[in-house]
Amino acid sequence: MRYIYIYLIFIFSINCVMAQQSQDSTMVKKRPKIGLVLSGGGAKGFAHIGVLKVIDELGIPIDYIAGTSMGSIIGGFYSMGYSAAEIEKIVLGQDWDHLLSDYVSRRHIPINEKEDAERYILSFPIKPKGIDLPRGIVVGQNIINLFENLSLEYHNQNNFKKLPIPFVCIATDLETGNAVVLDKGYLPLALRASMAIPTVFAPVEIDGKLLADGGMINNFPVKEVKAMGADIVIGVDVQSGPKSKKELNSFLDILNQTISLMAIKEFKNNIDFVDVYIKPEMGVYTVGSFNDADSLIHRGEEKAKEFIPRLKELKDKYHLKKQDRKIFTPPNDTTSIFVKQIEYKGLHDVGHTLVEGKLNLEIPGKISLAELKKGINRVYGSQYFDQVDYRLLGDKEKILEINVKERTTKRFNVGVHYDSDNDAAVLLNTTFRNKLKRGSRLSFDLKLARKPRFQTTYTIDNGVKPGLILKAEYNDSEVFAFENGKKIASYDFNYAKLDMKIQSLFSESYAMGIGAKTEYYHISSEFPNPDFMVVDDNDYFYTYYAYLKVDSHDKANYPTRGISLYGEYKLVTNNGSALKGTRRPASVAYLKFQKAIAISPSFTVYPKFYGRVVWGKNIPNFYLSYTGGIDQTDYFDIQIPFVGLERMEVPSTNSFVFRGDFQYELFRNNYLILKTNFGKLVEDVNDALHAGEWVKGIGLTYSYNSIIGPMEFSLMYSDKKKEISNYISIGYWF
């Protein structure tokens, strides 16, 4: 009987243990699913990162994520496997002014396009019905490229619910006004659509729908995360709520208010389903406070710490354990990818060869992420596309899919400028691409001013293979004769030319070519100075030339690194092979060299050299060298700039100028520049070492780099003029 009792006790114990295990197993199976909802709010959404840092530290598992706008971006990266700490590094490492623009580095813009890219303040596409406005201020080139670079491993994943953490984001269908739940497709494009603030960012087309910021309809997608299967919802809300009329002081304030009011009803319907509602204090921060990311992250973290007791209570109650998931780290520039082929989408008017040449990738073969990024930037920098993005498909051997949105081939551009020498001017430009030949550009310039200018240019870019540039130009200008720094005569200088050159581009920064042009000059004056220029002079000249051009400056204005160089040699005749009355043609050699050297982030030294040498007999006055003027214009190639002298003040046969600019950025886009130069003006090139006149000058310039171009005020002095003069320049040069 005793053994029977022992046996029964043993069986009972086993049943208890099994029952307990079964209960524990049931508890694990019934562990509630945690959903995370992240609202939109522009830069204020950086506070989400601070909340995620606390969630990571506590080991709270997240099973589902839904987000809108900036909440979709932060949530999307978290769903891929990025930790909160890694997302913080990414955010703090960005240049947000660059990222939230369509700016492309000058080193990726072809040298023959650099000048045009830096002289217009407005650019409009020309459609069949006339001039049109863009869909948004920013197309989003740089932001979509960032998303693609950071999500390389998930380009193949079309179902967002199969990401390490299932994810959805919200966008708005601009045609119907309905909210669209994005849970499949190409993740970078979905994130870009969810954040497309109307009028600021261009909308995105996905599956035939034109999508914009989801915050207009549903800025707090709680019901969507519940529909995914969430039992408990943690919601992070960075919206500021409606502002009073006294607080609506800017474009962004009004835009944010409009979006908030549209979504407020849906927000009220959603908030009742939130179990843990975290709302960081935003204080003075706005949707545009992108440069305050560290402070916003800190605010989110501090607010989340207030909820630690509540989060621990949930963790203990439901035996929540830290997720065992792979922490995803961002790829770096050395990441290697084997690409077996490239496919192109969106090409219609532009040929494959242009894109292939700009990509410059050896396919099939291994490429680095750095090479891919540079190639994408070169394609975008070609100016033929509004957007260029990519997708890597396949497993070990990838197919590189290049998606382009061709830029409207017809554009109308506007520039404005004022300076003390030439007064006010407006530039009207019309540019047509792919006319007669793919990869070509036809441009018409009309300068509206007291002295007008017209120019038309047709360019065929063949890269390293020789391309063709045809140009016709007419320029009506006014030049002066000076004596002891005073104007003593005025000349009406009319100039026309037909120019043809063959040019090869060795990279985006180097070009060389040869050319020939026919030039016509007409000079007249009511009060001439015979020692300065011959008046009522009309003549045709033929010029044959060769040149080398280099421009690797990081910025067109106020560069901090890079060089620019232009060297040219030309023969000038008016009698087939000679000047009338001489045995040989005149020769002109010209060299301009500039190098920017950054001493510190704020201080740059900018040494420059200008030299022009003319030799021959009976050289016409309008082929001499004219020294003076604080900057060099593109109107004439006979001018040598010199700080302290009036524009084209001193004529000579040869001119050599050494200059140093000391540029200090006082604060953002505001510069103080000390300009010093000395030069030698020589009549006889054969005696340049001993003959000639030495001139010295100095100037101080205050400049603001505005959206319409540099705005500069300068004070200058030279030992030749011996008095202080001033100079004003506003806007881009053209």
Q: Which residues of 154-181 are buried (b: 16+ CB within 10 A; e: fewer)?
A: bbebeebeebbbbbbbbbbbbeeeebbb
Residue of 69, 525, 652, 703 marked active site: 69
Given CA atoms 185, 190, 193, 194 in this order, what sign does their dihedral have?
positive
243: Cβ–Cβ under 8 A, 6 or more apart, which residues? 253, 257
69 carries an active-site annotation:
yes
C-alpha 94/C-alpha 73 separation (Å) is 14
Adjacent-strand bridge partners of 415? 427
Adjacent-strand bridge partners of 171? 180, 213
Contact between 123 and 411 (Cβ < 8 Å): yes
In this structure, the dihedral spanned by the alpha carbons of residues 122, 124, 130 and 136, taken in order and rounded to 10 degrees, is -120
Q: Which has the closest alpha carbon to 195: 159, 171, 176, 219?
A: 171
In this structure, the dihedral spanned by the alpha carbons of residues 574, 580, 584 and 586, taken in order and rounded to 10 degrees, is -60
Taking the alpha carbons at both ends of the chain, their separation in whole angstroms is 112
Contact between 400 and 114 (Cβ < 8 Å): no
Q: Tokens 């990279």 identify what position?
A: 507
151 carries an active-site annotation:
no
Residue of 213, 389, 499, 661 marked active site: 213
606: tokens are: 């900018």
Give the type of residue at 350: V
Contact between 678 and 698 (Cβ < 8 Å): no
149: Cβ–Cβ under 8 A, 6 or more apart, which residues? 330, 331, 369, 373
C-alpha 715/C-alpha 701 separation (Å) is 7
C-alpha 734/C-alpha 728 separation (Å) is 16
Q: Give the catalytic positions in this structure.
A: 69, 213
